Amino acid sequence: MNLKGGRFLRLFSFVLLGLSLLWLAGGLGSDLLEARLSHSEFEAVLAGGAVQEISIRQNRLTPTGEARIVYKGEEKRFSRERYFVSDVNRLQSELEERGIDFRLENPPVGGDFLGYGLLLLLTAGAVFYTFYRRGLPGGGGAVQIGRARARRENRTGENFGTVAGLSEEKEELAQLVDFLRAPEKYTELGARIPKGVLLVGPPGTGKTLLGRAIAGEAGVPFFSVAGSDFVELFVGVGASRVRELFEEAKSSAPCVVFIDEIDAVARRRGAGLGGGNDEREQTLNQLLVEMDGFTPNEGVIVLAATNRPDVLDPAILRPGRFDRKLTISRPDLCGREEILRLHAANKKFSEEVDFSELARMTAGFTGADLENLLNEAAIFVAAERRAFVTAADLRRAFLRVTVGTEKRSRVISEEEKRITAYHEAGHALLMKLIPGQGPVHTVSIIPTGIGAAGYTLSLPNGEQLFETRSHMLGQIKVALGGRIAEELVFGEPTTGAAQDIKEATALARAMVETYGMSAEVGTVHCGGAEDEVFLGRDFVHTKPYSEATASLIDSEVKRITDECYREAKDIMVLHRDNLETCAALLLEKEKINREEFEALFEGKSEESNGE
C-alpha cells in the first residue's frame, strides 16, 4: 500500500473518529438514553419494595460508583435507571439493613481508559492534520516552520526590455548583470562586485519588477521573499529561515536574492517604546552575518526594496552588505509616456488617443498608477462591449483614479447644491487667476466616492522638483477659495471646507517648520517630531525647540494663513462676476471641462483689450 502523507492522515483520522463514535455509542452515548436518578428518587425506589437486586460498579481509585436496579417480576435485566453513588460503603450498609440483595462489580481493566484514549488520539490526530498537514511536500506549514519561504524561479520572464521609464537605473544595474554573466572579467582585476543593492522609492515605482528584470537579463535563478516571511512567533525561526535561504542561494550561485519590504525585518534595533523584539533582532542579526559572510564574488547578489529607508538599522546599510543604494523615483514625462505605451501594447486604442497628452496629465503617477489607469479605461470598454479605448474612456478613468467614482444617484437639496457650486467655483477662480496654479481641468458638483460633495481638478503645470515660496502661498490661497466664496455669497461658512483648511494649515506649517520660509522663525528646521517613526515617539520625544519658539511657530502659521485669506478674498471680490457665472454654469451642467471654464473669461479678456 502506497499512501501519500495527506491521504494517510485523513484515513488515520477517520479510523480514530469511527472507533471513538463506537465507544461513545456504547459508553458515554448510552447516558443520553438512561435516566439519572436523584437521591430522593433513589430512596423512594428502595422504600417501595419493588427492587429485586442492585448492581454497584465501584470506581477503582475512589469509593464512588454507580448503582443499577433490577425490579421484581422482570427478567434478569437492568433498567435504564442509574444512580450516582457518592459513598459505596454507606450504600452497602443501607442495603443490608433493608434486606436488598446487591453485588459489587469492578470495571474492566483499561475499559474507560480505552475510550478516553481514543478521544485523545482523535484530538491529537486532528491537531496534527490541521496544524502540520501544510508541512508535507509542497506545503509550507508548521512542519516546515523553520524553512525559508523563498520562491525560486529559474526564468523570471522579465528583462530590461519589459521595464519602462527607468533608463538611468537600468544603466547602473547593468554592471550586476555583466558580473552574473562573466564574473571572471572582474575577479582577474581584483574587483569586487557589490554584495547588495538597496532599491529605495515610493510604492509602485517598479522596484520588484527591476529585481526580476536583473535576474531575467542575466539568465540566473531568482529567489524572492518578503521581509515579513522571516518574522515568526517562535524565537529562532526567522534566523533559521535566513540561514536556509542563503544556503540554498549559495548552492545555486550565480543567482539573485530579492527581499521585498526589507523594513519588516531590518528595522533599527532597540528603538521605540518597550525596547526591541528578540525574534526580530535575532533574524536581523542572522541576516547581517549571512550578508557579511559571503566569500568575495561568490555570485550571490542581494537586492532589497523598501519605501522606508529611514527606519532601517545602520548596520545593514554599511558597505559590504548593501554597497549601493539606488533611488527609484516617480517617472518623468518621457518615462510616463514610455510606461503608457508599454502597458498599451496588449490593448486596443482608437487613433485619437494621444499618449503624450496623457503623460502630461499624469504628473506624479507611478508606473503602477499608470497601469491601473489604462486598466480602468479598458474595463469601461469591456463593460460596454466596445472594441477600442477612446480618449473619453481615459478621461473617465483619470477621474476615477484621482477623485473616485461619481455618485450621480445621490439626492442633494438645491440649497446644498448651490453652496457646493459656489465653493468649487471659488477654488477654480483662484486656480485660474493666481499665477502657476492652473490650468483647471475639471470642475464638478457631483458627489464622489471619497465623500466629497464636488471637486476641482487641475492639470500639473510641468515637472517640478521643488516648490517656491510664492507657489506654496498660491496653493494656500486656492485651498481657502471655497471657504471665501461661501462667506462672500452666503454670509457664513459651512463644514465643507474642513479638508481645505487642514491642507492650508499643513502647507503653512511646513513653510515655517521645515523649509525656513518665515523671517520671524528663520532658516531653522523645527519639524523633529515627524522624524520619529517608532512606537512610543509621543512619550519619549522632546521638541528640539523651546516653548517660546513653539508659540512663535503657531503665530507665524496663523499669520501666513490669514494673509493668504485676505489676499485671496480681494481677488475674488474683484472678479465676483466670474464667480457668479461659473457657479451658474455648474448648477446648470453639474460638471464643466477645461474649454467650458476658459470660455467664461474670454469675453472679459476681449472687453479689457478693447478698452
DSSP character string of 253-268: -SEEEEEESGGGT-BP
Strand-pair partners of 592: 443
Q: Which of 355, 351, 323, 385 is nearest to 193 (CA)?
A: 323
Query: Nearest-5° angle of CA 503, CA 506, CA 508?
Result: 110
Residue type, 478: V
Q: Which of 518, 515, 540 is nearest to 529 (CA)?
A: 540
Q: Among this protein's residues, is 352 annotated catalytic? A: no
Q: Are 57 and 106 a contacting pair, CB within 8 Å?
A: yes
343-365 burial string, b = 16+ CB within 10 Å, else e? bbeeeebeeebebeebbbbbbeb
Query: Nearest-5° angle of CA 471, CA 474, CA 475?
Result: 90
What are the grid coordinates assigned to 40, written together? 430522593
Integer Cα distance of 233 and 204 in angstroms: 30
Query: What contacts 323, CB < 8 A, 6 or more positions away?
Result: 194, 195, 196, 197
Using a 10 angstrom Cβ sphere, with 0-12 exposed, 13-18 middle and 19 or more buried, the burial of residue 563 is: middle
Integer Cα distance of 404 and 412 in angstroms: 18
Q: Which of 56, 85, 55 is nearest to 70 (CA)?
A: 55
Q: Are 528 and 543 a contacting pair, CB within 8 Å?
A: yes
Give the neighbor-by-neighbor strand order of the sheet with 591-593: 455-458, 440-444, 591-593
Residue type, 457: L
Task: Give the SS3 label for residue 47.
Answer: helix
Q: How many CA atoms lie within 13 A of 151 on its CB side?
A: 10
206-233 burial string, b = 16+ CB within 10 Å, else e? bbbbbbbbbbbbbebbbbbbbbebbbbe
Residue tagged active-site, from 261, 424, 486, 513: 424
Secondary structure letter of residue 247 according to DSSP: H
User: Taking the alpha carbons of 467, 468, 470, 476 in that order, is the dihedral positive or negative?
Assistant: positive
Query: What contacts 504, CB < 8 A, 6 or more positions away?
Result: 476, 479, 480, 561, 564
In the block, cell 529567489 appears at: 223
Q: Are 556 and 520 a contacting pair, CB within 8 Å?
A: yes
Is the backbone peptide bond immediately before 137 cis, with ω within 30 degrees of 0?
A: no
Residue 531: φ, ψ to 5°: -80, -20
What is the set of active-site residues? 424
